[in-house]
Amino acid sequence: MKLAKPPLPTRKELLILSVLWQLGPTTVRAVHEHLKQRQQTTTYTTTLKMMQVMLDKGLLVKNSEPIAHIYTTKLSQETTQLQLIQDLIDRGFNGRYQDLRKLMEKIQESQ
């Protein structure tokens, strides 16, 4: 039986994932402060809610420490990027990797 793939993260969820990939396992407060430094301002409660939703979706894992809840990503950055690229190939190029490669070559040539 094939295991269900985790859902693809939204743009805002990718911001949170990028912070967690950079910092490693950490608290909501640390993620929120890091987002504020990157000018991605939301309220603390919004960051908390988003991370709770991501936990429910299977994008994050929570380790309840005696002092604070520590969140970490369920999948590595590379695995998530591969899923996003595969989704792009499937939806944007009808599953034809070669078409994406040709487009990437055109982009590279124009730079």
For the purposes of burial, counting CB atoms within 10 Å of the CB of 47, is it exposed (0-12), middle (13-18) or buried (19 or more)?
buried
With 70 as the cut, is the pLDDT of residue 3 above it? no
| pLDDT at 64 (0 to 100) | 75
Question: Rounded CA gap, 7 and 51, in Å?
Answer: 14
Are residue 21 and residue 50 in the same domain, yes or no? Answer: yes
Cβ neighbours for 84, distance < 8 A, ≥ 6 positions apart: 8
Structural domain including 96 reads 77-110
Q: How confident is the model at residue 2 (pLDDT cuts 50, 70, 90)?
A: low
| pLDDT at 38 (0 to 100) | 85
Count CA within 13 A, CB hemisphere, residue 83: 15
Domain presence at residue 69 = yes
Domain presence at residue 86 = yes
Give the chain's domain count. 2
Are residue 15 and residue 69 in the same domain, yes or no? Answer: yes
With 70 as the cut, is the pLDDT of residue 1 above it? no
Q: Is the pTM of this model over 0.85?
A: no
DSSP code for 88: H
Domain presence at residue 55 = yes
21 close to 73: Cβ distance less than 8 angstroms: yes
Residue 68 belongs to domain with CATH number: 1.10.10.10
Domain presence at residue 2 = no
Q: Compare 68 and 53 and report the one with higher pLDDT.
A: 53
Q: Which residues pair with 64 in a beta bridge?
A: 69
| pLDDT at 68 (0 to 100) | 79
pLDDT in tens, 22-66: 999 999 999 999 999 988 778 999 999 999 999 999 999 998 767
Query: Which residue's entry shows tokens 């709770």?
Result: 52
